[in-house]
């Protein structure tokens, strides 16, 4: 609202109050404009820009910032410039074809007329061979397994009849063999090939199946895997450290919910290859009760992002809660990318924060192959002083940045997460971030882009079980089809816990036949 000269108060104090009021409104509006401009630039960058979070220190302009405060300029002046040694790019060599593949020799010989020397007419003799290899493919071989059960009877009394038993099958009275079920599961849960596309592929070779049959088979496979999943969960909860993450999944038919409601697929992960465990769990909500349920009985360290839904489980189980520096870095990276065109070179406080975090990650790269005790010692000696300097800089910067700006939000996130972020300094087993969980959940996210949704809760739960077993197998270096076919062949025969335990990924070894 604009006031005319007649509307201005005559009292000086009242006039001052009016001016201060308008200044406050102008400041608020300018902050709002700045925030919206940042959001617009960030959206444009996400749509058209590079997704990489890598930055070069010279690009951030951390050592000569025109807009820095005097405090930042003094701190930056103590840094030495970084020199990068130039290098030449070399052309990569072609990888040799695997020795385990069969070889078929195709001999290319000269004609009899060409085996004569053109100079003296003598016959040419073989003096060597030039060999090159090409990778060939034979379309998948489809066959029908005919189970012929021999029957025997007594000719004397004609009262005794015996028949050879049929080995236990993964789905009794079904046309699907373990190999077919493994092929369908791997095609969907590894190669992200939806069931309707697989149905079309089978039709092209003359086999008429429908998607509902495939879906029913996958649900029954998920139910069959329950004993293995339970063993994996027991081993995971008995370990010292668990990563957790979650992502959305759409389930069309859920009781009391519409098809548009988002459900969640939760991930738990622990261990290192060849004993890495990856478990997916379907839940209708993101409520804090889910982590409490999934972590029941666990006593150790939990590594997560900044989602506060994990806090109740941490309090109830007295867990050590470690945070994720990658999420902190991502927020400052967005603040840098959202700056006005031409100002990324002077990335301000966001760039300064990225510089601190980059130093911490550089130390982690150098000690990744050391023992837990050695990691802790290096972190205490080298990383702790950097975090202390970062903390002092954070406390000085918070009052100087608008909380609504992307840099302000990143600073506040860093401030709120600080106790969790520095947990890793005191324990060499704790990683600096939760990236391994994000990498483990990525195959599900990529698959979701192809098959889009689950039709029912039973389908979502079975998908979680199959994803768990396949991703655990892959994380431990196993070929997923060979492993899953072995499990679906042997698990129906298992009568004891020991029989089931022998099928765990860590105890599976490919035979020459499966290879």
The model's confidence at residue 130, banded by pLDDT at 50, 70 and 90, is very high
The model's confidence at residue 233, banded by pLDDT at 50, 70 and 90, is very high
Q: What is the DSSP string of 313-366?
A: HHHHHT-EEE--HHHHHHHHHHHHHTSPTT-TTS-HHHHHHHHHHHHHHHHHHH
pLDDT at 431: 95
Distance, CA of 489 to CA of 177 (rounded, Å): 9
- Mean predicted confidence (pLDDT) in 300-323: 95
- Mean predicted confidence (pLDDT) in 316-336: 94
Asked if pLDDT for residue 2 goes beyond 70, the answer is no
Asked if pLDDT for residue 88 goes beyond 70, the answer is no
pLDDT at 303: 97
pLDDT at 474: 94
CB 229 within 8 A of CB 465: yes
272-276, 337-341, 427-431: which range is least confident on average?
A: 337-341
pLDDT at 182: 96
pLDDT at 13: 76
- The token duo for 471 is 């991703």
Distance, CA of 392 to CA of 378 (rounded, Å): 21
* 453 contact partners, CB below 8 Å, separation of at least 6: 249, 250, 251, 252
Chain-centre distance for alpha carbon 172: 35
Asked if pLDDT for residue 70 goes beyond 80, the answer is no
- Residue 61: half-sphere exposure toward Cβ, Cα within 13 Å: 14
Q: pLDDT tens, 155-210?
A: 998 889 999 999 999 999 899 999 999 999 999 999 999 999 999 999 998 899 99
pLDDT at 296: 94
For residues 418-440, one letter each, b for 16 or more C-beta atoms within 10 angstroms of the residue's C-beta and e for the rest, the string is eebbbbbbebbebbbbbbbbbeb
Determine phi and psi for 331, rounding to 5 degrees: -70, -40
Determine phi and psi for 267, rounding to 5 degrees: -120, 135
pLDDT at 73: 34
Asked if pLDDT for residue 345 goes beyond 50, the answer is no
CB 310 within 8 A of CB 304: yes
13-22, 69-78, 127-136: which range is least confident on average?
A: 69-78
- Mean predicted confidence (pLDDT) in 129-150: 89
Asked if pLDDT for residue 300 goes beyond 80, the answer is yes
Q: Residues of the chain with pLDDT > 90: what percent?
A: 62
Asked if pLDDT for residue 500 goes beyond 50, the answer is yes
- Mean predicted confidence (pLDDT) in 123-138: 90
Distance, CA of 499 to CA of 494 (rounded, Å): 5
Asked if pLDDT for residue 4 goes beyond 80, the answer is no
Asked if pLDDT for residue 494 goes beyond 90, the answer is yes
Asked if pLDDT for residue 56 goes beyond 70, the answer is no
Q: pLDDT tens, 73-85?
A: 333 333 444 454 5
The secondary element (H helix, E strand) that includes residue 58 is helix 57-60
pTM over 0.75: yes
Q: What is the mean pLDDT of the chain?
A: 86
The model's confidence at residue 45, banded by pLDDT at 50, 70 and 90, is low
Q: What is the DSSP string of 136-197?
A: ---PPP---------EEE-TTTS--EEEPPPPP-SSTT-S--HHHHHHHHHHHHTT---HHH
Q: What is the DSSP string of 193-252?
A: --HHHHHHHHHHTT----HHHHHHHHHHHHHHTHHHHHHHHHHHHTSSEEEEEEEEEEEE
pLDDT at 244: 96
Asked if pLDDT for residue 67 goes beyond 80, the answer is no
32-41, 241-250, 338-347, 457-466: which range is least confident on average?
A: 338-347
Q: pLDDT tens, 240-288?
A: 999 999 999 999 988 888 888 899 999 999 988 778 999 999 999 999 9
pLDDT at 421: 97
Asked if pLDDT for residue 71 goes beyond 90, the answer is no
Distance, CA of 354 to CA of 332 (rounded, Å): 7
């Amino acid at each position: 609202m604009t006031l005319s000269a007649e509307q201005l108060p005559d009292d000086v104090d009242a006039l001052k109050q009016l001016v201060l009021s308008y200044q406050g409104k102008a400041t608020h509006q300018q902050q709002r404009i700045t925030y919206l401009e940042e959001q617009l630039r960030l959206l444009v960058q996400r749509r058209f820009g590079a997704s990489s979070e890598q930055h070069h220190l010279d690009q951030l302009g951390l050592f000569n910032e025109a807009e820095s405060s005097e405090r930042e300029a003094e701190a930056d002046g103590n840094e030495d410039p970084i020199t990068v040694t130039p290098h030449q790019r070399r052309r990569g060599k072609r990888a040799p074809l695997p020795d385990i593949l069969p070889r078929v020799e195709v001999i290319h010989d000269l004609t009899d007329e060409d085996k004569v020397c053109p100079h003296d007419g003598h016959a040419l003799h073989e003096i060597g061979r030039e060999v090159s290899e090409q990778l060939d493919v034979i379309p998948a071989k489809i066959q029908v397994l005919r189970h012929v059960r021999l029957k025997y009877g007594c000719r004397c009394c004609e009262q005794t009849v015996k028949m050879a038993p049929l080995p236990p099958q993964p789905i009794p009275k079904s046309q699907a063999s373990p190999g077919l079920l493994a092929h369908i599961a791997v095609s969907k849960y590894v190669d992200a090939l939806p069931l309707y596309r697989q149905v079309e592929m089978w039709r092209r070779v003359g086999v008429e199946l429908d998607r509902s049959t495939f879906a029913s088979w996958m649900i029954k496979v998920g139910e069959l895997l329950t004993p293995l999943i339970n063993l994996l969960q027991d081993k995971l909860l008995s370990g010292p450290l668990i990563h957790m993450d979650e992502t959305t999944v759409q389930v069309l038919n859920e009781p009391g919910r519409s098809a548009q409601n988002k459900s969640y697929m939760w991930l738990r992960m622990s261990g290192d290859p060849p004993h890495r465990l990856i478990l997916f769990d379907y839940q209708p909500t993101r409520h804090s009760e889910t982590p409490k349920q999934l972590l029941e009985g666990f006593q150790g360290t939990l590594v997560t992002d900044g989602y506060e839904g994990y806090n109740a489980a941490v309090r109830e189980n007295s867990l050590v809660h470690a945070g994720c520096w990658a999420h902190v870095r991502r927020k400052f990276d967005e603040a840098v990318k959202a700056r006005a065109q031409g100002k990324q070179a002077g990335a301000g406080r966001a760039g300064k924060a990225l510089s601190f975090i980059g130093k911490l990650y550089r130390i982690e790269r150098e000690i990744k192959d050391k023992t837990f005790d050695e990691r802790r010692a290096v972190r205490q000696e080298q990383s702790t002083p950097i975090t202390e300097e970062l903390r002092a800089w954070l406390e000085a910067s918070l009052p100087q940045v608008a909380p609504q700006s992307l840099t302000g939000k990143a600073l506040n996130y860093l401030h709120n997460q600080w106790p969790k972020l520095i947990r890793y300094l005191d324990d060499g087993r704790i990683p600096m971030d939760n990236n391994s969980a994000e990498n483990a959940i990525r195959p599900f996210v990529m698959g979701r882009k192809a098959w889009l949704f689950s039709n029912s809760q039973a389908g979502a739960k079975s998908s979680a079980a199959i994803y768990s077993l396949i991703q655990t197998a892959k994380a431990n270096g196993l070929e997923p089809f060979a492993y899953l076919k072995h499990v679906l062949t042997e698990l129906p025969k298992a009568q004891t816990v020991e029989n089931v335990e022998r099928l765990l990924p860590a105890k599976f070894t490919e035979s020459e036949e499966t290879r």
